[in-house]
Chains A and B, each alone.
With several copies, the nearest count.
Chain A
Amino acid sequence: MSIWEYANPKKFMQTSAWALPWVTGLAAITLVAGLVWGFFFTPEAANFGTTVKIIYIHVPSAMMAINIWVMMLVTSLIWLIRRHHVSALAAKAAAPVGLVMTLIALFTGAIWGQPMWGTWWEWDPRLTSFLILGLFYLGYIALWQAIDNPDTAADLTGVLCLVGSVFALLSRYAVNFWNQGLHQGASLSVDKQENVSDVYWYPLLLCITGFILLFIMLVLTRTRTEVRLRRLKALEARERLA
């Protein structure tokens, strides 16, 4: 049995219907556990004070914002190359979630910046490239909405995602070159944790897992909606023609 079978709408609907309750439950448990742990049961940090608690939403959402774009790139490619409708619809379904994640990262970052750097906004490369990422999300969503024919929309947004990814990377590099900023370097990495002690690391890991599961749950739900919408449109069109 090949993985491409799940690209068949019916197969996808069946499988996702089975998986959805599990994912939803797991997402709720991990997310609530992680956030509660992070918010109530972690100590102050020497340099950040209690603001360190923001990390439990800031970092997972920032990671998801990037990863969701990568996921959209992959599913767009699958659509462009193999023309599986579900794949294109998954990209469409993911984009608003990605935008929300970007917004969360931006807002929490801004709120964090106020006490730490004394300013809501700084033209730091990390922050700036997130702003640009947000713009890419906005453009992508706007293009989906502007086009009527779903296959046309899938093709064009796919191409945009492709070209946009290249330029998002390029912007990241350009922005770095332009201004060395204040933001933390990447001190988290899965195998080595020099700067972050376990007290922060475990609840953070839990939160990251929670965000990932939440994203999967949302994407499944929204993709199911999009698939239904396509079928609905097809039925309506056929009824009119008959």
Chain B
Amino acid sequence: MLAIESLAVARGGVAILEGVSFALSAGQALVLRGPNGCGKTTLLRTIAGLQPPLAGRIVAPGDVIAYGAHADGLKATLSVVENLHFWAAVYGQPARVATALAEMNLAALAHRAAMSLSAGQKRRLGLARLLVTGRPVWVLDEPTISLDAASVELFANALRAHLGTGGAALIATHIDIGLVATATLDLTAHKARAPQDGGAAGGFDEAFA
């Protein structure tokens, strides 16, 4: 469903990862690991199509990726259902709102303004947003931040169900998510090298002499 071929990504004009390759097929989940600042967020943004890759290819059919970033894209003054309804409408999936609310245990909070939620409740809403997209490939950046143990369990269940129905997921995280089976990719090995060590040359690596 998603194949990455020797991808290199850059931030602030500097290459940070290179030679990243993997493939995800239906029912698979891949966990990205690596120390802080190794480039997980940058890689996910590139795969989601928000920034162009420096080199390599991203092979995926159109309209399969649902990106879940750090920021949840919630409107503070709208209620929980209003927020979900909006995203469901954008993705043309209005019927999914009710199940998403139930799955993320938000039914009791449905009519609260998003700004009056606690950190973990907001995060749950962010995950519910993912469910209403109806997209098969989830690309998630640290999805379980701020969640208590019960909510992490909810998320793991949702993820399991998603994989079970032929979905796939790519998850960057530092914390263990209690999941049956996931592959892990450690990005430390893919740290971009300087051009003189064989890394990709940027636009201004020519010697001016």
- Chains A, B in direct contact (C-beta < 8 Å): yes
List A residues at the B interface (Cβ < 8 Å).
8-10, 13-14, 17, 85, 148-151, 227-228, 230-231, 233-234, 237-238, 240-242
Query: Which of chain B's residues has its CB closest to A232's CB?
Result: B204
Q: Does B62 sit at the interface, judged by CB under 8 A?
A: no
Contact B206 A242 (CB under 8 A): no
> Does B98 count as interface, using CB distance less than 8 angstroms?
no
Q: Indicate whether A240 sits within 8 Å of B203 (C-beta atoms), given known contacts A9-B208, A13-B208, A150-B13.
A: no
Q: How far is the CB of A92 from chain B (nearest CB, A)?
A: 14
Residues of B within 8 A of A242 (CB): 194
In the complex, how many residue pairs between chain A and chain B have their CB atoms under 8 Å apart? 50
Binds A, one of B108-116, B126-134, B160-168, B175-183: B108-116
Closest to A236 in B: B111
B14 within 8 A of A: yes
Q: Which of B13, B194, B209 has the most A CB atoms < 10 Å from its CB?
A: B13
Interface membership of B198, Cβ < 8 A:
no
- Between B16, B192, B206, the greatest number of chain A beta carbons within 10 A of the residue's beta carbon is seen for B206
CB distance from A205 to the nearest CB of B (A): 36
Contact present for A230 and B108 (CB under 8 Å): no
| Distance from B123 Cβ to chain A, minimum over Cβ atoms (Å) | 19
Question: Which single member of B115, B116, B204 contacts A231 (CB below 8 Å)?
Answer: B204
Q: Return the contact of A240 from the options B13, B112, B192, B208 (Cβ within 8 A).
A: B112
Q: Chain B 102-144, CB within 8 Å of chain A: the 1/0 string? A: 0000001100110110000000000000000000000000000
Contacts of B115 in A (CB 8 A): 148
27 A-B contact pairs sorted by A residue (CB < 8 Å) = A8-B206, A9-B203, A9-B204, A9-B206, A9-B208, A13-B209, A17-B209, A85-B204, A148-B12, A148-B113, A148-B115, A150-B13, A227-B204, A227-B208, A228-B208, A230-B203, A231-B206, A231-B208, A234-B14, A234-B202, A234-B204, A237-B13, A237-B14, A240-B112, A241-B14, A241-B16, A241-B192
A238 to B10, CA, bound (A): 11
Which residues of the partner chain A approach B207 to less than 8 Å between Cβ atoms? 10
Complex CA gap A128/B20 in Å reads 56
Q: Give min CB distance, B74 to chain A, whole Å.
A: 15
Residues of B within 8 A of A230 (CB): 203-204
Within 8 Å CB of A227, what residues of B? 204, 208
The residues of B that contact A150 with a CB separation of less than 8 Å are: 13
B106 to chain A, nearest CB (A): 12
Cα A63 to Cα B207 in complex, Å, equals 37
A14 and B208 CA atoms in complex are apart in Å by 8
